[in-house]
Chains A and B, each alone.
Chain A
Amino acid sequence: MSLLYLLARWLDRISPAPIAYAHCDIPCGIYDPHHAQLAAHTVVRMVDLINLLEKPGASATPEQRQEYTNKLARYIATKEQHSEIAKNEIRILWGDYFKPEHLKTFPELHDLVWKALKTGSKARQEINLQVAEDLLKATNDIASIYWKTKGFETITVKAPYPTERLTVYPKFK
């Protein structure tokens, strides 16, 4: 402990030194667009499953109708939830991660996020494969920008899920 340190500490009694923070806000900067992409995949999958579901014909038994209704209700509920998860994850990236300097580099970001949220709403409202795929595409485009801001290249490959749709992944060095 130096003499000057003791002097500085003594001065604190007269007039406390302001604090200079070598600061860290916890949790600092833990973001990932993968949550949004994953949720969009689930939405695509639910629309696929709904379209594959055989509709009960005129001669269907009450049990068959019940089974159909049960499956349909479950797929729709999951589609609702995961559209909302995708929207929420996009909002988190938009509100908490992306900064004005990112917007300078990627001026299309504002429009992209805005459309992604609207597509998320439409994916809830409708059983529409094109809309579900548009939502996935929007999350991929956001992911692509996110990883660029982090200094990573991306690759676009078929996802290893039943949806098998093209998905943006970071190329970690």
Chain B
Amino acid sequence: MFPLRRFRVEDDSMHPELQPGDYVLVNRWAYKFRPPAKGDLVVVRDPETPDRFLVKRISDVPDAGQIRLAGDNANRSRDSRTFGPIDLREIVGKVWIRLR
């Protein structure tokens, strides 16, 4: 499995860090060597809509198997405040670089 995967960003909940139209390169191997940490920017599978991806920031790591997510732009974000913590397995990878 090639470690890098690119995604195009849509919507506004990570403004100003990410803006609609940006690309992000995601490292799918990032968490093979270390556990996810609070503050990491990650792409995850949407827990409420299969086949869709979300890009959010890790707001908390309540235990070894789960993370909580939050948008930087809290007023305009659907995240763990609505869908709860998510499984580590749902993480696609950590955002490595942003292209704008």
Contacts and interface: CB of A to CB of B under 8 A. Distances in A.
Interface of A: 1-2, 4-5, 8-9, 11-12, 16-25, 28-29, 99-101
B38 interface: no
B85 A20 contact: no
Given A12-B8, A24-B12, 8 more contacts: A5-B23, A8-B99, A16-B8, A22-B9, A22-B18, A22-B54, A22-B71, A28-B78
A21 B11 contact: yes
Interface residues of B, number: 36
A81 B20 CA distance: 45
Nearest to B77: A24
Contact of B13 (A18, A23, A101): A23
Interface of B: 5-15, 18, 20, 23-25, 43, 46, 52-56, 71, 73, 76-78, 81-85, 97, 99-100
A93 to B, nearest CB: 13
Contact of A17 (B8, B12, B46, B77): B8
A8 to B, nearest CB: 4
23 contacts: A2-B99, A2-B100, A4-B97, A5-B100, A16-B8, A17-B23, A18-B5, A19-B10, A20-B9, A20-B55, A21-B55, A22-B11, A22-B55, A22-B77, A23-B11, A28-B77, A28-B82, A29-B78, A29-B82, A99-B82, A99-B83, A99-B84, A100-B84
A8 B23 CA distance: 7
Contact of A24 (B6, B23, B52, B71): B71
A144 to B, nearest CB: 19
A11 B8 CA distance: 11
Residue from A5, A23, A29, A100 with most neighbouring chain B CB atoms (10 Å): A23
A102 to B, nearest CB: 8
A5 B23 CA distance: 7
Contacts of B77: 22-24, 28
B53 A20 contact: yes
Given A5-B99, A8-B23, A20 B10 contact: yes
B11 to A, nearest CB: 5
A1 B99 CA distance: 8
A22 B54 CA distance: 6
Nearest to A5: B99
Q: Which 9 pairs of residues, A with B, have the shortest CB-CB distance?
A: A20-B7, A20-B55, A22-B14, A101-B84, A5-B99, A8-B23, A22-B13, A17-B8, A20-B53
B53 A8 contact: no
